[in-house]
Structure 1
């Protein structure tokens, strides 16, 4: 729907219906009212689709803008266009996607980032490769330093090359091998798959810790978890795969949600179900279809950016 076709009243009605369906427990009456309204007039369906398309512009919190539209009174056409991310050129939005990209060593690595669903591979030299997972922010203050603000990276260094990797929780000294670092929720997890021992120094730790190949550990600024075996499945994303071996469905859906824009919810009681398999991250919708076909679950897709997984 182009800007000159925007019907403010219909968009507001669509937003109102969508907001009701986004409640924790939408009623059958709400679902029926939405279906009936969309079918009543082709213009209603166009307004609904316009709202869905614009959600790509909202990023990971599409419902916030929908609520603003639904609750606003006497909203102007210009304000509506702004909220929907529209201009005279039309709709600006991108869907969920996976992008593998190799960059040459001559480019600027000082500030690197990946969008939702994007995986980026960077060849820093003939002996050093770094791969950024979805929603990752990484920088290189110097040629031998990394700073990971958020997200996940994989380092593959084939010859002895001293590197320091800094997160909010501490500093990791690494020379050679294959290392994965993930930072989420104020916790950093490191997994060393091969190479030389690495040193970890939490910001408020009294003494550094040593991690051997095949080991994994999570830590914050003060404490660290017990050592556990490094799980090769956890780096399947480096090759564009989500790998699971008897992973609770709730954990699997949480991992999958990192690669999708919008909201992907799962009922807590489904934690009793387990997922095993190798899934291509190039199509997260297909993964949901596979799960629905093999497990006693129902995948309810209100819009491409709002999906709920419940018990069948």
Structure 2
């Protein structure tokens, strides 16, 4: 399998759709090779479901509404329900015939967000999860790692090492105690070193956040001047520095382990960003004035549509589904 080739086939319709989108994006790249085109033809002919999924991506891309400008958008009723024929691309992708949805500027953003970040990370990782998937794996030393949605990590347990590279996302570690072999997790910016404990490492856009549930860990940047964290301590590490250690309950940091996301007076933009981690595609707050609306509560990350509906019922916002992969909040 080449580096840019989609993963192995699956009967799961979501997996097939993701493969189709991966091929669609890859075949439009300047660097696409003859062998990759041949591999696409093999995939395309292997199953009628593959051909149907790819045809839908092409129809979505070529739909005239997709190429209207964002400023010219005329939105259909909230939580869009259209009445066009079932065999129409507009029906299949939830685009109302009278709408002028925003889609030109968002085209590359939507497809890239669905395809490239999680898919490329998975192809290069020892363990990974798809968007919306949470799973636990046991390592050879008896430690357990629970990977959150869209997470990828590499493991090196050879020659006495216990080393994890968090390539993307968030993971909860339950480390088997072994004084002779410290357990180390490297994020984008952070280095966490432990003997035996339970903690979370999360990669955000601009920093790593380490939160300790029990035990003691050392966290540093570039392995210099480590800070010691105990139960309910957290620290953020970015490209330039590490924060002071904060002490508060790790309940919010570990809520995803029980299928929920918990917020305490958080801005709507942070809530939407978190919900977006558990669904394919993009959630966009078009009305900038809404971004700082405060949100508190616990929401189900296993059903993000239900969570969005709950937010619409409790906040002065309206939610529009333009496609299965693009939701706009105004």
Name the TM-score, length of structure 1 as normaliser.
0.68
CA contact (8 A) 1:62 1:305 kept: no
- Is 1:271 the counterpart of 2:313? The answer is no
| 1:17–1:24 distance in 2 versus 1, CA, 3 Å | closer
| 1:170–1:291 distance in 2 versus 1, CA, 3 Å | closer
- Is 1:46 the counterpart of 2:88? The answer is yes
The aligned counterpart of 2:67 is: 19
More deviation, 173-182/229-238: 229-238
The aligned counterpart of 1:297 is: 317
| 1:140–1:291 distance in 2 versus 1, CA, 3 Å | same
Gaps of 5+ in 1: 54-60, 68-92, 95-109
- Is 1:169 the counterpart of 2:189? The answer is yes
The aligned counterpart of 2:107 is: 63
Match of 1:215 among 233, 247, 253: 233
Q: Secondary structure at the match of 2:63?
A: helix
| 1:159–1:111 distance in 2 versus 1, CA, 3 Å | same
Give the Cα–Cα distance (whole angstroms) in 2 for the partners of residues 170 and 292 of structure 1.
37
How far did residue 24 of structure 1 move? 3.3
* Higher alpha-carbon Rg: 1
Give the Cα–Cα distance (whole angstroms) in 1 for the partners of residues 135 and 284 of structure 2.
26
Structure with more of its chain in strand, by fraction: 1
Give the Cα–Cα distance (whole angstroms) in 1 for the partners of residues 136 and 290 of structure 2.
34
Name the TM-score, length of structure 2 as normaliser.
0.65
Gaps of 5+ in 2: 1-47, 96-104, 116-124
- Is 1:246 the counterpart of 2:261? The answer is no
The aligned counterpart of 2:220 is: 201
The RMSD of aligned alpha carbons is: 3.6
How far did residue 51 of structure 1 move? 4.9
Give the Cα–Cα distance (whole angstroms) in 1 for the partners of residues 171 and 110 of structure 2.
34
**What are the superposed Cα offsets for residues 137-167 of structure 1, whole Å, 9 maximum, x if unpaired?**
1011116211111110101236456311122
The count of aligned residue pairs is: 250
How far did residue 64 of structure 1 move? 2.9
How far did residue 294 of structure 1 move? 1.5
